[in-house]
Amino acid sequence: MSERAQRLLELADDELIVGWRDSEWTGIAPTLEEDVAFSSIAQNEIGHARALYELAAAELGTGPDELAFDRRPDEYRCAPLVELHLLDWAHTIARRYLYEEADRVRIEALKSSDDAEVAGLAAKIDREEVYHRLHAELWAARLREEPRFRDAVAELWPYALGVLPPELRPELARRVGLEPASNSPLRAAERGSHTEQLRELWEEMTEVRRSAPGAQW
Amino acid sequence: MDTRSEEFLAYVQSGGQVEAGDWMPDEYRQKLVKFIEMHGNSELMGVLPEREWILKAPTLQRKLALTAKVQDEVGHAQLIYRVVEDLGKPRNACLADLVSGKAKFHNVFHYPTLSWGDVGVIAWLVDAAAIISQKALLKCSYAPYARIMKKICWEESFHILHGRDVVLAMMTGTDAQRELVQEALTRWWPPLMQFHGNPISREEDPMYVWRIKSQGNEEARQQFLEGYVPQIWELGLTVPDPDLRRSEDGTWEYTEPDWDELKSVVTGHGPRSQERLDFRRRLLDQEAWVREAVLAA
Amino acid sequence: MTVFEVFRQERKGQPFQHAGSLVAPDAAFAEAWAREQYGRRGESAALWLVPRDAVHEVVDWADEFDLKYRRVDGYSIKARLAEARERAGTATA
């Protein structure tokens, strides 16, 4: 698999899995107004995943659904942050906030890529992400004094670092204002190994599809 | 009934529209709140059987579509509870009455969903049954409710198409997929037949008398059968009612639904009633701090 | 907690029409939520979000005297026009 395809799958898998996690809130978010808005974010992420899979699929000679659903759990390239099952609001918003900050750093890098297709898609994604960031910042500001939220951000910080390659992490630390103590290295939950939670998610995500392999739905 | 209420009744019966700030008889206000609240509760409870399948959707397209559909239902709940709030009952009170079992929600949302076949059948036929009622509500005497029905009906039209598309994909798929659809239809038919309520005549239905509903229960059911049984039969599916037939004068005959079952289900004794209410209650409790943090500005 | 009235414009150039309301702690949240409730399908060109308190409602009118002189339906020129055409010799058969 080419470098390009690997990078695309990393992004696509991140967006698919975080979108899947965010879609868990549809119907059960803390307020009805927020439920509707949050569901759009989840759908947007799935949409981004689909567009990224399409680019990778063209190169790999397959289709977006095949890439999204028909790999084994250990073949996915998502970062551990997105795999975590966080069905409480403080952790969910903490992840949204951190993920959007990390995503912004890498999207900025991709927008200036020599690869026109990737740069173009990154620009499109970025334009939609503007609203995700506004939403995340709105909630982060409102929950700033809430210990539950602050604790969740601290807990998820190593995972957030793991979303980015090492050279981009200082930028993330600068933006989020979570500089670690100067005498300890930035420790991250690295991309490359998976949590048990991904396997559970995968079982549920692929249950119907696996019941009739190759079938149309 | 006092004179003022009699005049009000004559007014709504001749097509008069009522706004939130208008005087209205207590009986009208109570019936209105109860009716609209039940609608809001139904949208909110209806998302629970469907959201399980968002997570299991077998393609990206279906996942997006189903998420969007459930999102619409939540949006409808928001519009509907706002109308109830403006009639004087706060959202928290509605939710409290819902999870305590005091307030009701429609029968269909008390049943389990067992397969992807259910996903198609619900989006196609349950939403179809609902849209028939909702189109009639466009003429509700209470204008704020009639107005939100416009947006609701517009959004529901995509649900039915999506549902039918899901069913058609399976009916043109493997034998096992066709069997999933048939099995789901067989299970959902009795609740569908009960959905529009027992065949009380319009004149005896207070909701019709006050022109909250503009159509009787049986009228709605006949519309459903007329519109959708041919669509079901043309796919080679079997409706589990051997007596279902269209008579010469155009009315549909069918086996009388079990009205005791309907009553039992909507009073909280359906197969999933308590489990779903418990789930809602747990989540409301778990996320109460969020509402306090955000909404107590 | 504020109730915000939502007015939406379907397409540029069209009037803003009342579309519903939502509850939000402030305008920023109201915007985030209204964007999705009233625009996730690209169905609105623009929205106005107005705190309910800012809406001053007017519902009653004095309707005592004949105001038809101010309206089109207060004028019936058919008979006079026919007579004028007669006099001018321009009446058609």
Average pLDDT for residues B116-134, to the nearest whole number? 96
Average pLDDT over residues B99-124: 96
pLDDT surpasses 50 at A45: yes
Nearest to A37 among C23, C25, C32 (CB): C32
pLDDT digits (tens, 9 = 90+) for A149-180: 999 999 999 999 999 999 999 999 999 988 65
Q: If pLDDT is split at 50, 70 and 90, which confidence band does B294 have?
A: confident
A36·C24 Cβ contact <8 A: no
Identity of the residue in A46, A89, A208 whose CB atom sits nearest the CB atom of B56: A208
User: Nearest CA to B50 among B127, B132, B148?
Assistant: B127
> Is residue A216 included in any domain, yes or no?
no
What mean pLDDT, rounded, does chain A reach? Answer: 94
Q: Which residue has the tokens 């390009």?
A: A4
pLDDT-derived band at A185, boundaries 50, 70, 90: low
Check whether C17 has a pLDDT greater than 80: yes
Give the DSSP H or E segment for C7.
strand C2-9
Expressed in angstroms, the distance from the first to the final Cα of chain C is 71
Residue A35 has a CB neighbour count (10 Å cut-off) of: 25
Other CB atoms within a 10 A radius of the CB of residue A114 amount to 6
Tell me: the pLDDT tens digits for B194-214?
A: 999 999 999 999 999 999 999
Chain A, window 121-180: residues with a beta carbon less than 8 angstroms from a chain C beta carbon: 131, 134-135, 138, 142
The beta-carbon contacts of B142-148 under 8 Å, at least 24 apart in sequence, are B142/B17, B142/B18, B142/B32, B142/B36, B142/B212, B143/B17, B143/B18, B143/B19, B144/B19, B144/B20, B144/B83, B144/B86, B145/B32, B145/B36, B145/B80, B145/B83, B146/B17, B147/C20, B148/B79, B148/B80, B148/B82, B148/B83, B148/C20
Residues of B in contact with C2 (CB under 8 A): 297
> CB-based contact (8 Å) between A208 and chain C?
no
**Residue-range definition of the domain harbouring residue A125:** 3-179+186-211
pLDDT at C36: 97
pLDDT value of position C67: 87
Tell which residue, A11, C15, A36, C8, has the closest CA to residue B73.
A36
Instruction: State residue A180's pLDDT score.
Output: 55
Q: What percent of chain B has pLDDT over 70?
A: 99
CATH topology of domain C2-54: Ubiquitin-like (UB roll) (3.10.20)
Residue C48 phi, psi (nearest 5) = -115, 130
Contact C37 B78 (CB under 8 A): yes
A184 has pLDDT over 90: no
Taking alpha carbons only, the member of B45, B60, B146 closest to residue B97 is: B45
CB contact, 8 Å: B151 with chain A? no
A34 — contact with chain C (CB < 8 Å)? yes
For residue A44, the domain's CATH number is 1.20.1260.10
pLDDT at A186: 58
* Dihedral sign for Cα atoms in the order A145, A147, A148, A154: positive
pLDDT value at residue A183: 39
**pLDDT tens by residue, B54-97:** 999 999 999 999 999 999 999 999 999 999 999 999 999 999 99
d(CA A146, CA A154): 13
How many other β-carbons are positioned within 10 Å of the β-carbon of residue A80? 21
Judge whether B128 and B192 are in contact, CB under 8 Å: no
Structural domains in chain B, CATH included, are 16-295 (1.20.1260.10)
Number of domains within chain A: 1
Partners of C47 in the β-ladder: C8
Residues of C in contact with B151 (CB under 8 A): 19-20
Q: Which residues of B touch A29 (CB under 8 A)?
A: 74, 287
Residue A117 lies in a domain: yes
Average pLDDT over residues B4-27: 96
pLDDT for A181 equals 40
- What's the average model confidence in pLDDT over B260-282? 95
User: Shortest CB distance from A33 goes to which of C28, C33, C40?
Assistant: C33
pLDDT 10s digits, A106-140: 999 999 999 999 999 999 999 999 999 999 999 99
Helix boundaries (H) for B57-140: 60-86, 91-99, 116-121, 127-137
Asked if B283's CB is within 8 angstroms of A212's CB, the reply is no
The backbone torsions φ and ψ at residue C22, rounded to the nearest 5 degrees and listed phi first, read -145, 160
Q: Is the dihedral of CA C13, C18, C20, C22 positive or negative?
A: positive
Can you give the pLDDT at residue B239?
98
How confident is the model at residue A179, as a pLDDT? Answer: 66
Return the pLDDT at C14.
Answer: 97
pLDDT in tens, A51-110: 999 999 999 999 999 999 999 999 999 999 999 999 999 999 999 999 999 999 999 999
Residue in B34, B260, B42, B250 with CA at minimum distance from that of residue B130: B42
- Cβ contact, residue pair B294, A142, below 8 Å: yes
Computed over its alpha carbons, how large is the radius of gyration of chain A?
Answer: 17
Candidate from B21, B82, B147 with C-beta closest to C22: B82
Q: Could you give the count of Cα atoms lying within 13 Å of B174 in the half-sphere of its Cβ?
A: 12
Q: For A46, which of B48, B60, B291 is closest by C-beta distance? A: B60
Interface contact C21, partner A, CB < 8 A: no
Query: Alpha helices, DSSP H only, in chain A?
Result: 3-23, 32-60, 64-69, 80-83, 89-111, 116-143, 147-161, 169-176, 196-211
Q: What would the pLDDT profile of B136-155 be if each residue is shown by its tens digit? A: 999 999 999 999 999 999 99
